[in-house]
Chains A and B, each alone.
Chain A
Amino acid sequence: MPATLLALLEQMNIKAPTIVAEIDGEVIDRQKFADTKINNGQKIELIRFMGGG
Protein backbone atom coordinates (compact mmCIF):
# COMPACT_ATOMS: atom_id res chain seq x y z
CA MET A 1 0.00 0.00 0.00
CA PRO A 2 1.34 3.47 -0.90
CA ALA A 3 2.52 5.57 2.02
CA THR A 4 1.22 8.96 0.93
CA LEU A 5 -1.74 10.40 -0.90
CA LEU A 6 0.47 11.47 -3.81
CA ALA A 7 1.90 7.96 -4.12
CA LEU A 8 -1.62 6.55 -4.15
CA LEU A 9 -2.65 8.89 -6.97
CA GLU A 10 0.48 8.02 -8.94
CA GLN A 11 -0.19 4.32 -8.49
CA MET A 12 -3.73 4.81 -9.84
CA ASN A 13 -2.39 6.94 -12.69
CA ILE A 14 -4.45 9.95 -11.63
CA LYS A 15 -2.91 13.33 -12.37
CA ALA A 16 -2.84 15.35 -9.19
CA PRO A 17 -3.08 18.96 -10.46
CA THR A 18 -6.85 19.09 -10.86
CA ILE A 19 -7.87 16.62 -8.20
CA VAL A 20 -9.27 17.47 -4.82
CA ALA A 21 -9.01 14.92 -2.04
CA GLU A 22 -10.84 14.41 1.20
CA ILE A 23 -9.64 12.07 3.91
CA ASP A 24 -12.26 11.16 6.47
CA GLY A 25 -14.26 14.25 5.51
CA GLU A 26 -11.37 16.70 5.67
CA VAL A 27 -10.20 18.50 2.53
CA ILE A 28 -6.47 18.08 1.92
CA ASP A 29 -4.55 20.98 0.33
CA ARG A 30 -3.00 19.90 -2.94
CA GLN A 31 0.39 21.19 -1.79
CA LYS A 32 0.20 18.67 1.04
CA PHE A 33 -0.56 15.57 -1.07
CA ALA A 34 3.08 14.45 -0.89
CA ASP A 35 3.27 14.90 2.87
CA THR A 36 -0.10 13.37 3.70
CA LYS A 37 0.30 9.85 5.01
CA ILE A 38 -2.54 7.43 4.39
CA ASN A 39 -3.57 4.54 6.59
CA ASN A 40 -5.78 1.48 6.43
CA GLY A 41 -9.40 2.14 7.23
CA GLN A 42 -9.46 5.77 6.09
CA LYS A 43 -12.17 6.98 3.77
CA ILE A 44 -10.53 8.76 0.84
CA GLU A 45 -12.66 10.74 -1.61
CA LEU A 46 -11.13 11.83 -4.92
CA ILE A 47 -13.07 14.49 -6.74
CA ARG A 48 -12.59 16.46 -9.93
CA PHE A 49 -14.34 18.94 -12.17
CA MET A 50 -16.62 17.61 -14.86
CA GLY A 51 -18.83 19.27 -17.40
CA GLY A 52 -21.88 20.82 -15.75
CA GLY A 53 -24.32 23.66 -16.08
Chain B
Amino acid sequence: MDNLVIAGREFNSRLLVGTGKFASSKVMADAIEACGSEIVTVALRRVDIENENDDMLLAIDRDKYLLLPNTSGARDADEAVRLAKLARAASSINWLKLEVTPDPYYLLPDPVETLKAAEALVKDDFIVLPYINADPVLAKRLEDAGTATVMPLASPIGSNQGMRTRAAIEIIIEQANVPVVVDAGLGLPSHAAEAMEIGADAVLVNTAIATAADPCAMARAFKLCVKAGRTAYNSGPAVAQRKATASSPLTGFLRDE
Protein backbone atom coordinates (compact mmCIF):
# COMPACT_ATOMS: atom_id res chain seq x y z
CA MET B 1 0.00 0.00 0.00
CA ASP B 2 1.08 3.54 -0.69
CA ASN B 3 -0.89 5.44 1.91
CA LEU B 4 -0.49 8.99 3.08
CA VAL B 5 0.51 9.08 6.74
CA ILE B 6 0.10 12.28 8.73
CA ALA B 7 0.82 12.30 12.46
CA GLY B 8 0.57 8.50 12.51
CA ARG B 9 -2.84 8.38 10.86
CA GLU B 10 -3.20 6.67 7.49
CA PHE B 11 -5.21 7.95 4.56
CA ASN B 12 -5.89 6.26 1.22
CA SER B 13 -6.48 9.53 -0.58
CA ARG B 14 -3.76 12.09 -1.24
CA LEU B 15 -6.29 14.76 -2.14
CA LEU B 16 -7.42 17.10 0.63
CA VAL B 17 -10.40 19.24 -0.21
CA GLY B 18 -11.67 22.60 1.00
CA THR B 19 -15.35 23.31 1.56
CA GLY B 20 -15.51 27.01 0.65
CA LYS B 21 -17.31 28.62 -2.29
CA PHE B 22 -19.67 25.72 -3.08
CA ALA B 23 -23.10 26.72 -4.36
CA SER B 24 -24.81 24.59 -1.70
CA SER B 25 -24.08 22.08 1.02
CA LYS B 26 -25.47 19.36 -1.25
CA VAL B 27 -23.07 20.17 -4.09
CA MET B 28 -20.22 20.29 -1.57
CA ALA B 29 -21.10 16.89 -0.10
CA ASP B 30 -21.41 15.33 -3.57
CA ALA B 31 -18.06 16.78 -4.67
CA ILE B 32 -16.29 15.55 -1.53
CA GLU B 33 -17.70 12.09 -2.18
CA ALA B 34 -16.65 12.23 -5.84
CA CYS B 35 -13.04 13.20 -5.15
CA GLY B 36 -12.54 10.41 -2.62
CA SER B 37 -10.94 12.77 -0.15
CA GLU B 38 -10.71 11.81 3.52
CA ILE B 39 -9.63 15.19 4.90
CA VAL B 40 -11.83 18.25 4.47
CA THR B 41 -11.01 21.75 5.63
CA VAL B 42 -13.53 24.09 7.26
CA ALA B 43 -13.41 27.66 8.53
CA LEU B 44 -14.76 29.23 11.72
CA ARG B 45 -16.96 32.28 11.55
CA ARG B 46 -19.41 34.19 13.74
CA VAL B 47 -22.95 32.84 13.75
CA ASP B 48 -25.17 35.11 11.70
CA ILE B 49 -28.12 35.43 14.08
CA GLU B 50 -30.16 37.38 11.52
CA ASN B 51 -29.79 34.66 8.95
CA GLU B 52 -29.73 31.31 10.68
CA ASN B 53 -29.46 29.06 7.65
CA ASP B 54 -28.61 25.41 7.31
CA ASP B 55 -25.56 24.09 9.08
CA MET B 56 -22.99 22.97 6.50
CA LEU B 57 -21.35 20.72 9.05
CA LEU B 58 -24.41 18.48 8.98
CA ALA B 59 -23.71 17.71 5.31
CA ILE B 60 -20.30 16.23 6.17
CA ASP B 61 -20.21 12.66 7.46
CA ARG B 62 -17.70 13.01 10.25
CA ASP B 63 -17.23 9.25 10.60
CA LYS B 64 -15.97 9.20 7.04
CA TYR B 65 -14.03 12.46 6.80
CA LEU B 66 -11.52 14.06 9.10
CA LEU B 67 -12.49 17.68 9.67
CA LEU B 68 -9.50 19.96 9.39
CA PRO B 69 -10.45 23.36 10.83
CA ASN B 70 -8.43 26.27 9.50
CA THR B 71 -7.50 29.57 11.11
CA SER B 72 -8.46 31.66 8.09
CA GLY B 73 -9.02 35.28 8.95
CA ALA B 74 -6.19 35.29 11.50
CA ARG B 75 -3.82 38.20 10.95
CA ASP B 76 -1.28 37.29 13.61
CA ALA B 77 -0.23 34.45 15.88
CA ASP B 78 -2.54 35.46 18.74
CA GLU B 79 -5.61 35.46 16.51
CA ALA B 80 -4.60 32.09 15.05
CA VAL B 81 -4.17 30.54 18.50
CA ARG B 82 -7.56 31.87 19.58
CA LEU B 83 -9.23 30.41 16.48
CA ALA B 84 -7.42 27.11 17.03
CA LYS B 85 -8.80 26.82 20.54
CA LEU B 86 -12.31 27.67 19.37
CA ALA B 87 -12.01 25.08 16.61
CA ARG B 88 -10.94 22.44 19.10
CA ALA B 89 -13.81 23.34 21.41
CA ALA B 90 -16.29 23.20 18.52
CA SER B 91 -15.12 19.94 17.00
CA SER B 92 -13.18 18.06 19.69
CA ILE B 93 -10.52 17.69 16.98
CA ASN B 94 -6.96 18.76 17.64
CA TRP B 95 -5.96 18.80 13.96
CA LEU B 96 -5.50 22.26 12.56
CA LYS B 97 -4.65 23.94 9.29
CA LEU B 98 -2.69 26.92 10.52
CA GLU B 99 -2.93 29.96 8.30
CA VAL B 100 -1.97 33.51 9.14
CA THR B 101 -2.64 35.84 6.24
CA PRO B 102 -2.47 39.54 7.10
CA ASP B 103 -2.10 40.63 3.46
CA PRO B 104 -5.61 41.10 2.01
CA TYR B 105 -4.56 41.28 -1.65
CA TYR B 106 -2.49 38.17 -2.21
CA LEU B 107 -3.41 36.40 1.05
CA LEU B 108 0.21 35.40 1.45
CA PRO B 109 1.02 33.78 4.79
CA ASP B 110 3.10 35.64 7.37
CA PRO B 111 6.11 33.40 8.07
CA VAL B 112 7.09 34.95 11.42
CA GLU B 113 3.59 34.82 12.91
CA THR B 114 2.97 31.35 11.46
CA LEU B 115 6.10 29.95 13.11
CA LYS B 116 5.24 31.66 16.39
CA ALA B 117 1.71 30.25 16.36
CA ALA B 118 2.94 26.80 15.34
CA GLU B 119 5.34 26.65 18.28
CA ALA B 120 2.57 27.60 20.73
CA LEU B 121 0.04 25.18 19.22
CA VAL B 122 2.39 22.20 19.09
CA LYS B 123 3.10 22.77 22.81
CA ASP B 124 -0.67 22.82 23.36
CA ASP B 125 -1.00 19.33 21.74
CA PHE B 126 -2.40 20.44 18.40
CA ILE B 127 -1.55 18.51 15.25
CA VAL B 128 -0.47 21.46 13.14
CA LEU B 129 -0.56 21.58 9.34
CA PRO B 130 0.85 25.01 8.47
CA TYR B 131 0.07 26.87 5.25
CA ILE B 132 3.24 28.64 4.14
CA ASN B 133 4.88 30.34 1.24
CA ALA B 134 7.23 27.97 -0.59
CA ASP B 135 10.20 28.77 1.64
CA PRO B 136 12.46 25.77 2.32
CA VAL B 137 14.09 27.39 5.37
CA LEU B 138 10.72 28.14 6.96
CA ALA B 139 9.54 24.61 6.14
CA LYS B 140 12.52 23.22 8.05
CA ARG B 141 11.94 25.55 10.99
CA LEU B 142 8.30 24.43 11.21
CA GLU B 143 9.24 20.78 10.98
CA ASP B 144 11.77 21.32 13.77
CA ALA B 145 9.01 22.99 15.81
CA GLY B 146 6.99 19.78 15.52
CA THR B 147 4.41 20.43 12.82
CA ALA B 148 2.79 17.36 11.27
CA THR B 149 3.23 18.56 7.68
CA VAL B 150 4.27 21.59 5.75
CA MET B 151 1.84 23.01 3.20
CA PRO B 152 3.57 25.31 0.71
CA LEU B 153 1.49 27.31 -1.73
CA ALA B 154 1.72 26.65 -5.47
CA SER B 155 0.48 30.20 -6.16
CA PRO B 156 -1.81 32.63 -4.30
CA ILE B 157 -5.04 31.20 -2.82
CA GLY B 158 -7.85 30.93 -5.34
CA SER B 159 -5.66 32.24 -8.17
CA ASN B 160 -5.70 28.99 -10.20
CA GLN B 161 -2.23 29.79 -11.54
CA GLY B 162 -0.72 26.38 -10.81
CA MET B 163 2.83 25.51 -9.77
CA ARG B 164 4.46 28.95 -9.89
CA THR B 165 6.70 28.06 -6.93
CA ARG B 166 7.77 24.70 -8.32
CA ALA B 167 11.54 25.12 -7.88
CA ALA B 168 11.20 26.03 -4.20
CA ILE B 169 8.67 23.24 -3.59
CA GLU B 170 11.17 20.76 -5.07
CA ILE B 171 13.72 21.86 -2.47
CA ILE B 172 11.13 21.57 0.32
CA ILE B 173 10.26 18.04 -0.81
CA GLU B 174 13.94 17.09 -0.99
CA GLN B 175 14.59 18.27 2.56
CA ALA B 176 11.36 17.43 4.37
CA ASN B 177 10.92 14.61 6.86
CA VAL B 178 7.20 15.35 7.23
CA PRO B 179 4.59 15.11 4.47
CA VAL B 180 4.57 18.01 2.01
CA VAL B 181 1.05 19.04 1.01
CA VAL B 182 0.92 21.49 -1.87
CA ASP B 183 -1.85 23.91 -1.00
CA ALA B 184 -3.41 26.87 -2.81
CA GLY B 185 -3.38 27.96 -6.43
CA LEU B 186 -3.86 24.56 -8.09
CA GLY B 187 -6.40 25.49 -10.74
CA LEU B 188 -6.44 22.39 -12.92
CA PRO B 189 -6.10 18.65 -12.40
CA SER B 190 -2.85 18.80 -14.41
CA HIS B 191 -1.44 21.23 -11.80
CA ALA B 192 -2.20 18.66 -9.11
CA ALA B 193 -0.60 15.94 -11.22
CA GLU B 194 2.53 18.09 -11.59
CA ALA B 195 2.76 18.54 -7.82
CA MET B 196 2.42 14.80 -7.27
CA GLU B 197 4.91 13.94 -10.03
CA ILE B 198 7.65 15.94 -8.33
CA GLY B 199 7.04 14.07 -5.08
CA ALA B 200 4.51 16.04 -3.09
CA ASP B 201 2.81 13.75 -0.58
CA ALA B 202 -0.60 15.30 -1.14
CA VAL B 203 -2.41 18.35 -2.49
CA LEU B 204 -5.18 20.54 -1.10
CA VAL B 205 -7.75 21.88 -3.56
CA ASN B 206 -10.81 24.05 -3.03
CA THR B 207 -11.56 26.83 -5.53
CA ALA B 208 -10.81 24.79 -8.65
CA ILE B 209 -13.41 22.20 -7.66
CA ALA B 210 -15.97 24.44 -5.95
CA THR B 211 -16.20 27.02 -8.72
CA ALA B 212 -16.17 24.61 -11.68
CA ALA B 213 -19.36 24.51 -13.71
CA ASP B 214 -19.68 20.86 -12.68
CA PRO B 215 -17.91 20.51 -9.29
CA CYS B 216 -18.53 16.75 -9.06
CA ALA B 217 -16.97 16.01 -12.44
CA MET B 218 -14.03 18.30 -11.64
CA ALA B 219 -13.61 16.54 -8.29
CA ARG B 220 -13.31 13.22 -10.16
CA ALA B 221 -10.78 14.74 -12.55
CA PHE B 222 -8.63 15.91 -9.64
CA LYS B 223 -8.87 12.48 -8.03
CA LEU B 224 -7.63 10.80 -11.21
CA CYS B 225 -4.79 13.28 -11.72
CA VAL B 226 -3.58 12.99 -8.12
CA LYS B 227 -3.47 9.22 -8.55
CA ALA B 228 -1.76 9.49 -11.93
CA GLY B 229 0.83 11.92 -10.60
CA ARG B 230 1.58 9.75 -7.59
CA THR B 231 1.89 6.62 -9.73
CA ALA B 232 4.26 8.49 -12.06
CA TYR B 233 6.40 9.65 -9.12
CA ASN B 234 6.60 6.09 -7.77
CA SER B 235 7.52 4.83 -11.25
CA GLY B 236 10.74 6.85 -11.37
CA PRO B 237 10.18 9.50 -14.06
CA ALA B 238 12.60 9.75 -16.97
CA VAL B 239 15.08 12.62 -16.83
CA ALA B 240 14.59 15.73 -18.97
CA GLN B 241 17.44 16.43 -21.40
CA ARG B 242 18.27 19.28 -23.73
CA LYS B 243 19.03 17.20 -26.82
CA ALA B 244 17.05 14.50 -28.58
CA THR B 245 17.75 10.85 -27.91
CA ALA B 246 16.21 8.49 -30.44
CA SER B 247 13.51 6.13 -29.29
CA SER B 248 13.97 3.89 -32.34
CA PRO B 249 17.19 1.96 -33.15
CA LEU B 250 19.89 3.95 -34.95
CA THR B 251 20.91 0.97 -37.10
CA GLY B 252 19.36 -0.93 -40.00
CA PHE B 253 18.02 2.11 -41.82
CA LEU B 254 16.53 1.40 -45.28
CA ARG B 255 19.01 3.54 -47.16
CA ASP B 256 22.36 3.20 -48.92
CA GLU B 257 25.19 5.10 -47.24
Q: List residues of A whose CB falls within 8 A of some B CB.
A: 12-15, 18-20, 22, 27-30, 45-53
Contacts and interface: CB of A to CB of B under 8 A. Distances in A.
Contacts of A53: 18-21, 41, 43, 70, 72, 157-158, 184, 204, 206-207
A42 to B, nearest CB: 16
Contacts of A45: 46
Interface stretch (B86-94, B225-233, B246-254): B86-94
Contacts, number: 91
Scoring A15, A45, A49 by chain B CB atoms within 10 A of each residue's CB, the highest score goes to A49
B56 interface: yes
Q: Is the interface of A mostly helix, strand, loop or mixed?
A: strand
Contact of B52 (A12, A18, A20, A28): A12
A-B interface, 10 closest residue pairs, ranked by CB to CB distance from nearest = A52-B43, A53-B18, A53-B206, A20-B90, A51-B19, A46-B47, A49-B42, A51-B20, A27-B89, A50-B45
Contacts of A22: 86
B47 A48 contact: yes
Contacts of A49: 42-44, 56-57, 67, 69, 87, 90-91
A47 B21 contact: no
A33 B70 CA distance: 24
